[in-house]
Structure 1
């Protein structure tokens, strides 16, 4: 199933706005400014005289923009420490543009540090080891000291019990013995355990308790109101209201910020009354040391209103440290309520409010006080990539809509669609943001609730969390809460989690739902291809009997406890969990039924779950759940005391089947939660009837290699291998290191291959011949190599010696192939299996005959092309819909998975007449991860088996990938990202295979001919070009070959260094009554294409079996020059044109002429320079011929060509043909505008006539016809 949104190519993620000289120094060009810690803000900001502050550089950019700057702007920041006394704020007026982004970057080879900490001086001894400093007082300043740093390292606030460096997670805790009163719903007083109460405190109100209350869903810091040491009682200033978050017996805590507890080196405390700071230096003295305390909670702010936004700013290579924590956040309307689902509020080192297309790249966030990066409010297509975030006080990266919930408090979602819709309409959106290739670890230092990445945005679509390495977190790695919409969490390497909390998961989704009947928000989450290991969990209130396998490190703490690898809490809907590897968790690899336990239409498929402690997977849910599937998974475990699964009500489980289960010792499998807990009873309920209890045959599970051996039984049940080599921060490099192999990384290509790739991209391709590979083997004589290549039906024989330089061989349909495959079926397989007769029997026999001779269609084509020095490319139609009416193209994979189809035959029947996309029900649904996985594996096999020069991913066969396309609606931003992710994955496949063989494999994509049409169907061609995901573009279907507007996509591609080849289809060239199939018409279409700037032409559905004159001249403007041509306005519409109905595809006829005198226009492109030919005397004629339908009188219509009136020289009122003889100079090269208008004496009618044909036959003197 892959919903691919991966970010594989490193260069993709950091599109360079900087240019460098060969010695690595930044080129100083107009618009560059420089900042140095030793500079001066009165300087001009040059390399020799840099500014002192980033704020001054920002202002200089504003001044430059006021002068109408028309180029990208760079601010280069020299190494050094920049102390900040206030936030640096960028507003909407600081925005760049897509063409002229503004980049604030580290100077090459240097690392500037932005610090929110102020140096504290004036230290005096206070006793033997402790020093004290009186913080300076100003009229408007009251110090809040929440952290202290010694030489850049965070120090421990004085505490009891002391921090235990030998056991930092489980040592150093005290425990609540009892709450007072014991039956209080929300107690504010508790009793310390006996025998360990600390010293007498002179100022207990200066102290705070850090506590993990209730069920360990949260952490709190609460000031102390009073203390009674005789009774061992502590009273705090506020209650924790909710039952699950209240103080409970057994909760662990420690007391902070009391001078009496400052008893070890490295500790400090702050007296808020006297504003004195106390510190015991870790090295015993302060000589030469620097002590700093954070004074601002936001270092950098990008902040604008929703109407203006901050756009196109990039921050690259910077370091941020020491921002002031703001924790805990107290709800302004409900001061007693601390919502465990909310993100931390305040202390954001890098704050982005209402931003679009901004980026934080390759930055370091070290020991900031709150969130490292917060995206707030409206967030569109921002990129957080390749950063390291360590030791953040709260979360690594958070996307949030608001600081607190402003509506009917607290929010409840289940079953309240109208209320949800109302709230949704009032809140901002987060769309298309990418958080990728970041290393996030040891965060949540102050707020243990903090996840590494948190998405807390109600209206979302297409956000991607991918390729991150996340580890050593107190709580979740990735957390999604309180929202709607499809987002993708994929290819992350996640481990060592939930070191403090419980009831959690590596990937945790709480109250993430859908909004019914909304085209965007009705889509569920996708969690795919992640590796999630060691999600531990800690018992929140002492020993518990429900986890007998636990091994406590202390009497009062128990671990592992109550966690899952992937955990959905409170009723997920339409979520997809696919292709993940979950190892060493507690209650299972995945759980859908937390909280309200009413999951709906969720899929858990193709995952590997290994060695959880209690259950291996968890399908417990209540009687209201429905439509959930658990299929084609592998479960492997060694603990005989563990259950295979936990279940309760099974009505909500639509399918649990085709799985492979293996308990290493061979003991009977146990089913928890059902009477008898036996495997046989489970199967009696109708589940796992086709599943196997068998060794899945991992390559080397002892060494963590969970790839499957070729004879794995899971493969026979349809399991798709997980792309482990693409998981993680460094993708294949991580797997390579683990296995001791040399595997190319996703984001690199050896320099010699890169040079070879460049040369291959630039090679001459005058004509590309596209061959669907079927012809010869469907005919007699196609059963031998000689017959295939040289027989009467050979399509290869006419090519040598022509302008054809490249052959694109399409071996079959999407998932039924003309060659034998271990991934997909061949036509021969399908013919045999489903007893299909007719011409397909000969096809089968010829295929088998070639196979028996050790060859096939692809190999024969490769051999032919090598012999004749032609480029050969495998063309893969990734969504061929001929199987709507061709049974032979319905593979077993397709037949067994109707859930992979975009439509149904029933929907097609209801669509009625016309050319509705719903008629093509067999198109594949690219939101299903298994679909993209399958297609990717086909290409992987081809790249490893055949010596092709490239692979064309043919998105034009056919351009309908998502449900909105069935109603002529555009793809959503999330769906755009799905195809971008898929393209990234295929690009990596080609890179890997090319590197392995020592010669690159080009990545070629065939897409619609305009960026608008591409976006409509889900192809973000601009992003693909920006990321370098294609080497070559082939565009269009060739069905509007004369008037297809090519300029925009040609210019986009050429700006990215990508050549463009456009398509002429023999099907599209027919025109009405086969009028435009002549050689002259092909020349006319080709001339228009060359005029648009294409690099060559692709012929499609043109299958000559003898000499082909078109191959002699249409492949070059030079050979077309002076040849007779026919230029027309296209008047045919076929399938692909209709699939993107409503998107501009160029002029097509008919055009109605209104009877009210308003003009009607039609645009006729002419690629030849007719004025020049007329002037130099080589032009014989260029008549303009127009046919009108339903015209009552010739003089009722006035025609103008490029503004000049024309009078017909010939007319046939019966047929409606009018012939005009313009002067050559009246034509233009390129766009010619025809204007039709009813004359004053025209008959009164709503529609006077229709223009149905426009053509200009161009005849040259003394030339070939």
Structure 2
């Protein structure tokens, strides 16, 4: 009997020892001066990471197995990004795991609450019959500064910024004058001459532009001529690809105005005034009394940053069953937003008077880009995994494996209500690197590699920057994108490749298999359910189901495809993909693109005219 008791004790000790590194955290009842036990948890995730970091530094017994930071259900608000560094690294035998128990919802949030609402508004910019319906609150402060925002969430629902039309509705422009740097549109039905923060949202082929309005002049013919602030004015009218279209097959390019109190006229809309920061909201019926509502605006653009370096990587960190919510996207309010493709904004771009670069003799334009902001960023790291996590209410990119990330997995996660691209990985060379020059890193490890994206659900992404995608990969190799459901997007679904080049650049052995892509290209064209660029030897597109390609109502032509092999796509074997009534698009593919038995109809066009 004594032997049996001893044996049971040893087994229990072994089980406890395998998780002896547990650190417990509670947003509701925690205290950062507590020991971090079940009975006395910590309050913040940052303090828990510090405790784990110290255990590893001191080689404490708690670091013998996995160190598990266990988050009780609740919202963990971050005033600054959660920063994970090389010292937070685990090992294959002892990972750092940030998790929540099954059945509990733990959210790491970059948002702050908006409180103190008052019903009624006497601002003359609001129509008189609506003034008693509008609720008003002062913006919260972060330290001593007013929090500015482009996103507002009411009771878990994203509210619509005050806009000229209903969501997704636009109007055709009259003229686009590159020389005069103006756009002519039908005169708005509402007087916007005094709107100080007015923005114009422009549909331009496969991308959008957000332009801050400088001046509006009526031309006497029922039209208004609009000019814009710099830097976006210069970028919008200097860059050739993509500009709006006048006289397209299906009409002119489209636009709408947004972000003016004068446009606040529909339940569910809101507006933030500048410089007061005051927030105006027109509730929907279900909101009830706004002082009983949960209203959140994002403070942080980046909620979590995993930051290594070439010399010292971060490794062996895993997030399990954790939510990430409320990341901001503020840049268009500061400098507008003019993009090349995929949400990558232009730093400079112009048409070449004499075409050609050494790397591409026929190139007739140059462009330099910057990467979109992201809620979770990972750099110089390996084995950084996300399992059964939720990414929701994020203003720009959701999760971004930026550079030199390897051997990592994103599995069983949900991405929804994402303003830009849900999941992004790999180099899209930015800054001073001209975007059409093939990227061959001087340090081979800088390319993202061996990343697996499996069994995730992505829906309602690209809802702020329509030109972003569901899953986007640039210069990557040995990447697997498999068994995901990707849907309800304004542009393309799964995109792999960058550079518009037939030259070899390190992209290779990428696999896109078993995915279901549907309800895509809702607003833009030149799109693909699966979209590829450039030479990627040894790569595969197989066994995917792609359906419900939407007929974008404001497209100026009909170029959207179930699979689109854009410029210089090569090295792919494409077989066994189900695309009902599908047409594939081809733009100067390479000789090693092998297309086998796929959807019931395939059309081949080797001379699509548009280039970037």
- State the TM-score, normalized to the length of structure 2: 0.82
Query: Hey, what's the Cα distance between the residues in 2 that align with 1:435 and 1:135?
Result: 38
What is the aligned partner in structure 1 of residue 182 from structure 2? 189
Cα distance change on mapping 1:352 and 1:138 into 2, 3 Å? closer
Q: Conserved in 2, the CA contact under 8 Å of 1:135 and 1:277?
A: yes
Of 387, 402, 407, the match for 1:361 = 387
Deviations 1:649-695 (A, max 9, x none): xxxxxxxxxxxxxxxxxxxxxxxxxxxxxxxxxxxxxxxxxxxxxxx
Of 424, 428, 431, the match for 1:398 = 424
Query: Hey, what's the Cα distance between the residues in 2 that align with 1:139 and 1:84?
Result: 13
What is the aligned partner in structure 2 of residue 921 from structure 1? none
Matched, 1:334 2:347: yes
Deviations 1:283-342 (A, max 9, x none): 363131122110101111111112211100000001111110145567899356799996
Of 484, 495, 500, the match for 1:468 = 484
Cα distance change on mapping 1:335 and 1:404 into 2, 3 Å? same
Q: Conserved in 2, the CA contact under 8 Å of 1:524 and 1:573?
A: no
Query: Hey, what's the Cα distance between the residues in 2 that align with 1:534 and 1:332?
Result: 29
Query: Hey, what's the Cα distance between the residues in 2 that align with 1:138 and 1:454?
Result: 33
Query: Hey, what's the Cα distance between the residues in 1 that align with 2:22 and 2:429?
Result: 37
Superposition deviation, residue 32 in structure 1: 0.5
Cα distance change on mapping 1:388 and 1:116 into 2, 3 Å? same
Secondary structure, counterpart of 2:40 in structure 1: coil
Structure 2, unaligned runs of 5 or more: 1-10, 122-130, 247-251, 339-343, 351-364, 500-506
Superposition deviation, residue 436 in structure 1: 0.5
Of 535, 560, 568, the match for 1:513 = 535
Deviations 1:618-653 (A, max 9, x none): 33326xxxxxxxxxxxxxxxxxxxxxxx9xxxxxxx
Query: Hey, what's the Cα distance between the residues in 2 that align with 1:389 and 1:443?
Result: 8
Cα distance change on mapping 1:76 and 1:341 into 2, 3 Å? farther
Cα distance change on mapping 1:105 and 1:370 into 2, 3 Å? same
Matched, 1:568 2:572: no
Cα distance change on mapping 1:332 and 1:497 into 2, 3 Å? closer
Superposition deviation, residue 208 in structure 1: 0.8
Superposition deviation, residue 271 in structure 1: 1.6
Secondary structure, counterpart of 1:446 in structure 2: coil
Q: Conserved in 1, the CA contact under 8 Å of 2:479 and 2:510?
A: yes
Q: Conserved in 2, the CA contact under 8 Å of 1:32 and 1:73?
A: yes
Q: Conserved in 2, the CA contact under 8 Å of 1:513 and 1:524?
A: no
What is the aligned partner in structure 2 of residue 88 from structure 1? 82
Deviations 1:887-925 (A, max 9, x none): xxxxxxxxxxxxxxxxxxxxxxxxxxxxxxxxxxxxxxx
Of 198, 210, 214, the match for 1:207 = 198
What is the aligned partner in structure 2 of residue 314 from structure 1? 318
Secondary structure, counterpart of 1:58 in structure 2: helix
Query: Hey, what's the Cα distance between the residues in 2 that align with 1:138 and 1:395?
Result: 27
What is the aligned partner in structure 2 of residue 490 from structure 1? 513
Cα distance change on mapping 1:202 and 1:133 into 2, 3 Å? farther
Structure having the higher helix fraction is 1
Superposition deviation, residue 405 in structure 1: 4.4
What is the aligned partner in structure 1 of residue 24 from structure 2? 34
Greater relative contact order structure (CA < 8 Å, 6+ sep):
2
What is the aligned partner in structure 2 of residue 145 from structure 1? 149
What is the aligned partner in structure 1 of residue 502 from structure 2? none
Superposition deviation, residue 155 in structure 1: 0.1
Superposition deviation, residue 70 in structure 1: 2.0
Deviations 1:1186-1220 (A, max 9, x none): xxxxxxxxxxxxxxxxxxxxxxxxxxxxxxxxxxx
Number of aligned positions between the proteins: 537
Of 30, 46, 65, the match for 2:37 = 46
Cα distance change on mapping 1:427 and 1:568 into 2, 3 Å? farther
Cα distance change on mapping 1:289 and 1:481 into 2, 3 Å? same
The equivalences for 1:42-121 within 5 A come to 42-68=33-59, 69-121=63-115
Superposition deviation, residue 142 in structure 1: 5.0
Query: Hey, what's the Cα distance between the residues in 1 that align with 2:576 and 2:370?
Result: 29
Q: Conserved in 1, the CA contact under 8 Å of 2:349 and 2:367?
A: no
Q: Conserved in 2, the CA contact under 8 Å of 1:203 and 1:258?
A: no
Superposition deviation, residue 189 in structure 1: 1.5
Deviations 1:353-399 (A, max 9, x none): 11101101101111211111110110101101100101101011100
Q: Conserved in 2, the CA contact under 8 Å of 1:501 and 1:537?
A: no
Query: Hey, what's the Cα distance between the residues in 2 that align with 1:336 and 1:148?
Result: 33
Cα distance change on mapping 1:564 and 1:341 into 2, 3 Å? farther
Q: Conserved in 1, the CA contact under 8 Å of 2:422 and 2:471?
A: yes
The equivalences for 1:934-949 within 5 A come to none
Q: Based on CA coordinates, which of the two structures has the bigger radius of gyration?
A: 1
What is the aligned partner in structure 1 of residue 275 from structure 2? 273
Deviations 1:133-171 (A, max 9, x none): 2335677635321111112211000000233xxxxx4xx
Matched, 1:479 2:495: yes
Q: Conserved in 2, the CA contact under 8 Å of 1:344 and 1:395?
A: no
What is the aligned partner in structure 1 of residue 604 from structure 2? 619
What is the aligned partner in structure 2 of residue 254 from structure 1? 256
Query: Hey, what's the Cα distance between the residues in 2 that align with 1:70 and 1:203?
Result: 65
Query: Hey, what's the Cα distance between the residues in 1 that align with 2:66 and 2:47?
Result: 18
Query: Hey, what's the Cα distance between the residues in 2 that align with 1:333 and 1:86?
Result: 27
Query: Hey, what's the Cα distance between the residues in 1 that align with 2:555 and 2:491?
Result: 17
Q: Conserved in 1, the CA contact under 8 Å of 2:114 and 2:137?
A: yes
- State the TM-score, normalized to the length of structure 1: 0.41
Provide runs of 4+ in structure 1 moved above 4 Å: 25-28, 136-140, 326-333, 335-344, 423-427, 539-542
What is the aligned partner in structure 2 of residue 441 from structure 1? 459
Secondary structure, counterpart of 2:48 in structure 1: helix
Query: Hey, what's the Cα distance between the residues in 1 that align with 2:428 and 2:310?
Result: 13
The equivalences for 1:986-1005 within 5 A come to none
Superposition deviation, residue 403 in structure 1: 6.7
The equivalences for 1:1083-1098 within 5 A come to none
Cα distance change on mapping 1:494 and 1:600 into 2, 3 Å? same
Of 285, 289, 296, the match for 1:292 = 296
What is the aligned partner in structure 1 of residue 210 from structure 2? 221
Query: Hey, what's the Cα distance between the residues in 2 that align with 1:461 and 1:58?
Result: 32
Query: Hey, what's the Cα distance between the residues in 2 that align with 1:233 and 1:123?
Result: 38
Matched, 1:234 2:226: yes
Secondary structure, counterpart of 1:599 in structure 2: coil
Structure having the higher strand fraction is 2
Structure 1, unaligned runs of 5 or more: 1-20, 164-168, 414-419, 515-522, 545-560, 611-615, 623-645, 647-1265
Deviations 1:556-600 (A, max 9, x none): xxxxx2122211111122221122111233xx1x33x31xx1422
The equivalences for 1:585-984 within 5 A come to 585=582, 588=583, 590-591=584-585, 593-594=586-587, 597-607=588-598, 609-610=599-600, 616-621=601-606
Cα distance change on mapping 1:98 and 1:260 into 2, 3 Å? same
Of 533, 540, 546, the match for 1:526 = 540
Secondary structure, counterpart of 2:174 in structure 1: strand
Cα distance change on mapping 1:280 and 1:439 into 2, 3 Å? same
Q: Conserved in 2, the CA contact under 8 Å of 1:452 and 1:477?
A: yes
Cα distance change on mapping 1:236 and 1:333 into 2, 3 Å? closer
Q: Conserved in 1, the CA contact under 8 Å of 2:428 and 2:498?
A: no
Matched, 1:502 2:502: no
Q: CA RMSD, aligned part only?
A: 2.8
